[in-house]
Chains A and B, each alone.
Chain A
Amino acid sequence: MDAAVPRVAPEAETWDLDALYRLHASDVARWAGRLAGPELDVEDLVQEVFVIVRWRLAEFRGDAAITTWLFRITQNVVRRERRRARWGRWWTSDEGIEVACDRDDPERVASRREDVVQLYRALDRLSEKLRTVVILHEIEGLSGEAIAALLDIEANTVWVRLHRARKRLAQVLEAKTR
């Protein structure tokens, strides 16, 4: 998947933070944006990820691809920030949530914002494992094999999780309309 990225073994300490950022900041931003949904600031998340990368880079042993390692950190940062944001929902409305949209038609933007917020609220009802797989496949458009490589799991596991996630998501949405 990332042939251009060398697997780092004993020379892990030679990874340069700037180079890593140059190569992978846009990947981290994309993952963070997709995993977090419209309620969190992606630039903040990217910075939080690279603050952790800076401190933990020396611990990286190259057991997994660098993208897998970065994805795990991104996932943890997003999870923590989502938990914090959940508290904020008690006193804020969805009105302030911005959804970057490819059209400027205000009605369309508003309805799309509503749809995206609704989807992410439903996704919040899934376990972290199911949530991640369904976001990566259905929204980000990654193949099963790419997801398996990114998460360092078997491709079969991806398909099983995806099947469960779709089923669960449909149940959650159905329960909300009742």
Chain B
Amino acid sequence: MSERLERLLEAARHTEPVSAEALPPRPNVAWGGCWPRRLRRWRSWW
């Protein structure tokens, strides 16, 4: 494998995946699930 590819892969390996603690404790599936999050984001953007 080329040195460059190995460097890029190494960078990706070191990114931290989202931990279980960062997720909400229950699945948010009410009203299509993701809408509350998206609405919050849109509101903060405006």
Q: Which of B15, B16, B34 has the most CB of A within 10 A?
A: B15
* CB-based contact B11/A119 at 8 Å: yes
* CB-based contact B23/A29 at 8 Å: yes
Q: Which of A44, A111, A122 contacts B37 (CB 8 A)?
A: A44
Q: Which residues of A pack against B, CB within 8 Å?
A: 17-18, 21, 25-26, 29-30, 33-34, 37-38, 42-44, 46-48, 50-51, 53-54, 99-102, 111-112, 115-116, 118-120, 122, 138-139, 141, 166, 169-170, 173-174, 177
With A43-B37, A47-B34, A100-B15 in contact, is A29–B20 under 8 Å at CB? yes
Using Cβ atoms and an 8 Å threshold, which residues of chain A touch B18? 29-30, 33, 42-43, 46
- Distance, CA A17 to CA B8, complexed state (A): 37
Q: Which residues of B pack against A, CB within 8 Å?
A: 1-2, 4-5, 7-9, 11-20, 22-24, 26-29, 32-34, 37-38
- Distance, CA A53 to CA B27, complexed state (A): 10
Q: Which of A111, A116, A138, A166 contacts B15 (CB 8 A)?
A: A116
Task: Look across to chain B and name the residue whose beta carbon is closest to the beta carbon of A100.
Answer: B16
Interface of A is mostly: helix
* CB-based contact A51/B32 at 8 Å: yes
* CB-based contact B17/A48 at 8 Å: no
Task: Look across to chain A and name the residue whose beta carbon is closest to the beta carbon of B19.
Answer: A26
Using Cβ atoms and an 8 Å threshold, which residues of chain B touch A139? 9, 12-13
